[in-house]
Amino acid sequence: MPQSGFTIERAFLEKLERLTIHWQKSFPGLVGGHNRSRFAGAGQEFLDHRNFQQGDDLRAVNWRAYMRIEKLFLKMFQVEPRVPVRILLDISESMTTGEVSKFDYARRLAAALCYVGLVRLDTMCIQPFCGRLLDPYSVGGGRHRFSPIVDFLGGLQAGGKTDFLSSVRQFVGEYPQRGLVVVISDFLDDGDCTRPLQYLSDFGHELLLLHLWADDDRTPPWDGELDLTDAESGANLQISFDADARAAYTRAFDEFAAGLRRMALRTGGRYVGLPTSVQVEDAIFGPIVRARGVA
């Protein structure tokens, strides 16, 4: 399925078919998990009959019973509520740094999660963001709807500056229905990204944070005099760098990742750190499965 150089191998997809996206919360108004609902409402499965009341939908009247016993009965159907799974995909400029592009890695990861969800008839929504939310793509109804997702992901272009606070505010406004929110990002925001994520969780969403980093992001290989340029802001920094500085850098990065983990666990969510040197397939069947993101 080639599209703008973005491809997903069929063999990889076949391995994903046995997986299911998991969430832990019971969301208000919906039945959590994968338990079938006993609420009557608009649905496909027949649930029961009741007496017709004034104002009922005439399309649900059982006309065959009326012809036989001359009484109006109304057919009731089982409601099939689905927990929305929304993937917040970071497409900011910082996702393009590193030997292996985090942006490509994130797109492959999003595509894989969408396929897992579609196989289980979940409703998937991919929501790209950087400084704000971009046009989303929602899909559901089975694996045969996967191809448009690949096309959508292939059409995405990386760019822009990350602003979690603005994006989260917009997200909360546009998606009032609670659900599982998978955030795929390097979480490198000039501001503190934990607060907006906390806000998202407080609103009722369950968070699954997939933290991506390139090896260069965690352990810079360079030595000596460095002239650094921030990929998003263009800010410049000239420093002397050596092994001690490298250790300090790695320490700071690990502390930042630990902060994200703590925040996710505190809010009942989950956190998975993924270096791009690990293959997407290994990441899904390794750290993400272990974190019960999928099972």
Partner 1 sequence: MHLFNLGLGEFLGLLGAASGVVLALYLLDRSKQKIRVATLRFWTPAPKPSDLKNRRKIQQPLSLLLQLLSILCLLLAIAQLRWGSAESGARDHVLILDTSAWMGARAGATAREGTLLDAARRSARAWLRTLPSGDRVMVVQADGQATAVTAFETNRQVVEQAIAAASPGQSALRLGQALAFAQKTQRMHARRIGEVVFAGTGRVSTDEEKFADAPKNLRVLPSAGPANNTGVRHLAVRRAGASPDVWEIYVTVKNYGPEPRVVPLAATFGGAPAGTETLRLTGGAEREVSFRYKTLSAGVLDVRLFNPDAFPGDDRASVELPAQPRVKVAVYSNEPNLIRPLLTANPRVEAVFRGHAEMPDAATDAALVILDRPPRRVDPKGPAIWIEPAAGVSAMALKQQAEGVALTRWRDEHPAGRGLRTRDLRLAKTAIFAPASGDVAVAESSAGPVIVARPASRAIYFGFHPMRSELRFELATPLLFANIVQWMAPDSFRRWELNASSAGSITAEVDGEAEEIQVTDENNQPVPFTVQDRTLRFFHGTRGTVRLRDGRRESVYSLTLPEVETAVWTPPATVRRGIPRPGSGGPSATDLWRALAILGAAGLVTEWLLFGRRRLPFAVASMELSVRLRSLLRKPSLLRRAS
Q: Which residues bind partner 1 (CB under 8 A)?
A: 94-95, 97-98, 102, 186, 188, 190, 214, 216-217, 220, 222-232, 235, 237-245, 248-249, 252-253, 256
First CA to last CA across the chain, in angstroms?
26
The residue (of 132 and 251) whose beta carbon lies closer to partner 1 is 251
Three-state SS for 202? helix
CB 146 within 8 A of CB 118: yes
Tokens representing 153 are 């992901």
| Min CB(131)–partner 1 separation in Å | 15
| Min CB(223)–partner 1 separation in Å | 7
Q: Which residue has the tokens 């500085």?
A: 245
Residue 264 CB partners (closer than 8 Å, separation 6+): 197, 207, 209, 270, 271
The residue (of 39 and 249) whose beta carbon lies closer to partner 1 is 249
The residue (of 53 and 240) whose beta carbon lies closer to partner 1 is 240
CB 61 within 8 A of CB 67: no
The residue (of 120 and 261) whose beta carbon lies closer to partner 1 is 261
| Min CB(235)–partner 1 separation in Å | 6
Tokens representing 198 are 């906390």
The residue (of 46 and 222) whose beta carbon lies closer to partner 1 is 222
| Min CB(243)–partner 1 separation in Å | 6
| Min CB(133)–partner 1 separation in Å | 21
- What order do you get walking across the sheet with 180-185 strand by strand? 137-139, 124-129, 85-90, 180-185, 206-213, 270-275
